[in-house]
Structure 1
Amino acid sequence: MKNSLFIKATLSEETERPPVWMMRQAGRFMPEYWEIKNKYSFLEMCKTPEIAADVTMLPVDLLGIDAAILFSDILVTGEAMGGKLSFEQGVGPKFSNPIENSRDVDALEVNCLDNLRYVADAIKVIQERLAKLGDKQIPLIGFAGAPFTVMSYLVEGGSSKDFKKTKLFMNNQPAVAHKLLEKIADVTVDYLNMQIAAGVNAIQIFDSWALALSWDDYKDFSHYYIKNIISRLNRVVPVISFCKGSSVFAPLMAEAKPDVVSIDWNADIRNVKQSLPQGMAIQGNLDPFVLYADKKVIKEKVLRIIERMRGEKGFIFNLGHGIMPDIPFDNVKYAVELIKEFRY
């Protein structure tokens, strides 16, 4: 992958243009995704290597992005540990056995890597397909959910607008919360190292709901565990750290020593980049809602970010969070083409 723009940027090497990929790039905004989704459940798609490979390859083939990301879900670790996971159309993920107390945490399994072998199998199939692209050198990004985000789903039993149960759990049972986070962190280390061994070219850690936390709670209940995970990874591939709330938490994120900090759209990307340690790259940070707009607006806002990063090594163009399901495919493709045509 020495010629990959994405890998060069993660290592803060000079590139002629920013590489681009987009969170949730293989998803519901694509008609081709629905052709597959209408035949299988979401978990069947994740757990069948050939199908996971089909979906992973969609944005490579249809958008021409610079990196693929494994088709899976951040909650597969929670399921492997013993969470009873399902996905309901229009509702999202559900755990039917939410965590409430120390006894529930004790019942969770840590030596559960065998329950996640289907992910390693999918990685091998995807890499076989990417290899057929020849000189294009499209790297594959593996990923996992950060402990706090996974914990929030396990405690809430699904998605939440206010994280009330999670915050009560943290405040009233802090020792139990830390015991749960430690278990999730241990599984996450094993899981990510398995992905690296299976052949991914980079890793991203998603802390999707960190923005719900205060500074001190982020430090104690999120950052501490992400730092622990990153320190235990087999660092033969670049590591990206993302959280919603990164415009606030970037200084702490950098202390965990990822190769790349991925930021939401609330901060000035150049200011954040210049606040990071020398040689640490940055990823982001277009507001995904821009992609609903007219193409002249998309062009203006995409190019504004790229121009803002002119002269800075180590920049990957991405969104501040994932693509929404009803964003027009043509708008996403237009944004990708704009970036790929750009030259510094």
Structure 2
Amino acid sequence: MAAPNTPHCQNFAPLKNDLILRAARGERTERVPVWLMRQAGRYLPEYKEAKGKTKFFETCRNPELVSELTLQPIQRFNLDAAIIFSDILVIPVAMGLTVANDPGEGPVYGNPISSPDDLKILNPNFDILTELGYVYEAITLTRVKLEGRVPLIGFTGAPWTLMKFMIENVSAGPNPNKARTFLVEHPDASHQLLGMLRDAITRHLVYQVKAGAQLLQVFDSFAGELGPHLFSKFELPILKQIAKDVKEKLLELNLDPVPMIVFAKDAHFAIEDLSLSGYDVVGLDWCVQTLHARKLAGNRVTLQGNLDPVMLFASKDEIKKAVKEMLNKFGTQRYIANLGHGVLKDTDPDHVAVFVDAVHRYSEDMNAVS
């Protein structure tokens, strides 16, 4: 399914709120922008109503429904960005892994990778519009429906995180260490697989921008499992290459590069390296000490994060207090407020509103006296 309307032929409405873009570029902002990972999802009653009994992956392939789900939190909260509703696992499926079933949390593969020979089943040169056009169509449709209200974020999983899913079949249940073992037992095949994923991810990100995405985030949800040695050997060079290649390819297409965010969960050992990796923003999980992260990253990049998602289960006063503490540590410039991971499914939407509004109110107050 191709995306018929791209920025080449679609005139999108002028952007009314560019706060997050300015923050990502390191420009001064009058308040701290805020969005939430997994902000469109199961914690919203309107999500459950709109999705109904449609399977998760079927939902991802329905551009009209995807657009509706993406816009739901924007209509409910005063957020500074929308993020397209999709899944990181669309790429392995596009490359040839078959989905045995769709339990609602993501696909379970019928043919996970278990040996170097299994790489032969993958097609790294898949037709991207045929396999992933539904994503780009949803992005274009959502940009139109946003009417310039806030920027739209596109995203992908990082190579290592996708490799882990492809080998361990994570959605089917825990199978720890199998992917890390594959790295050390089969280093050449691992580099080959990661290279395939790098190229697919790069193409996917470029096409998302062509379709209308205004920021990009790379989710490396299992980065911390690698530790400093394996992360530096296998993943960090690939992450750097993705940032470089995406920006170069966009320029070749006469499209302005968009800000890029890397979120390497639990990779606290790599904050300094990530700040030098070519991304504009480094996302932090809730286990990072804020001042330590600022010291390591310096003023090279914008930081994003990192309230513990369970804090949204606290009282409203406690949420406001936590926001104040977070802002005091991060400051109000070169900063994007977010959670340290995705919104948990039983979160009260009213508490999300308290979080979002507190970020705006307190950061405006801090800027007024600075």
Which of 291, 294, 308 pairs up with 2:312?
291
What are the Cα deviations for residues 66-111 of structure 1, in whole angstroms up to 9, with x where unaligned?
A: 100010000000110011134314x653111100122211220112
Match of 1:16 among 7, 10, 30: 30
* 1:338 and 2:352 matched: no
Whether the 8 Å contact between 1:2 and 1:8 is mirrored in structure 2 is no
Question: Residues 263-285 of structure 1, C-alpha deviation per residue, up to 9 Å, x if partnerless?
Answer: 11122223312322534111001
- For residues 177-220 of structure 1, what are the alpha-carbon distances to aligned partners after superposition, in whole Å with 9 as ceiling and x for unaligned? 11111101110001101111111100000000111111111112
For 1:128, the equivalent position in structure 2 comes to 144
Q: Distance in 2 between matches of 1:323 and 1:20?
A: 13
Q: What is the Cα-based RMSD across aligned positions, in Å?
A: 1.6
Task: Give the conservation status (yes or no) of the 8 Å contact 1:279–1:314.
Answer: no
Q: In structure 1, what residue type is equivalent to 2:29? A: T
Q: Which residue of 2 aligns with 1:247?
A: 268
Matches within 5 A, 1:173-212: 173-212=186-225
Verify the 8 A CA contact 1:149 1:210 in the aligned structure 2. Answer: yes
1:88 corresponds to 2:103? yes
Residue 157 (structure 1) aligns with: 169
Q: Distance in 2 between matches of 1:243 and 1:323?
A: 17
**SS state at 1:97 partner:** coil
Higher mean alpha-carbon deviation, 19-28 vs 91-100, is at 91-100
Task: Specify every segment of 5 or more residues in structure 1 that has no aligned partner in the other structure, as ranges.
Answer: none
Q: Which residue of 2 aligns with 1:52?
A: 66
Aligned length: 338
Bigger shift: 67-76 or 104-113?
Answer: 104-113
Query: What is the rounded CA distance, in whole Å, between the counterparts of 1:163 and 1:141 in structure 2?
Result: 31
Indicate if the aligned counterparts of 1:92 and 1:158 stay in contact, CA closer than 8 A.
Answer: no
1:250-269 paired onto structure 2 within 5 Å? 250-269=271-290
Counterpart secondary structure, 1:6: helix
Q: Does 1:109 align with 2:123?
A: yes
| 1:60-75 matches, cutoff 5 A | 60-75=74-89
Match of 1:144 in 2: 156
Distance in 1 separating the partners of 2:157 and 2:355: 27
Structure 2: gaps spanning 5 or more residues = 1-14, 251-256
Mapped to 2, the partners of 1:318 and 1:162 lie a distance apart of 30
**1:33-79 deviation digits (Å, cap 9, x = unpaired):** 11122241111211111111000001100112110001000000011
Give percent identity, aligned residues only: 36
Give the partner amino acid of 1:140.
L
Q: TM-score, normalised by structure 2?
A: 0.87
* CA displacement at 1:329 relative to structure 2: 1.4
Is contact 1:269–1:284 with CA below 8 Å preserved after alignment? no
In the other structure, the counterpart of 1:168 is 181
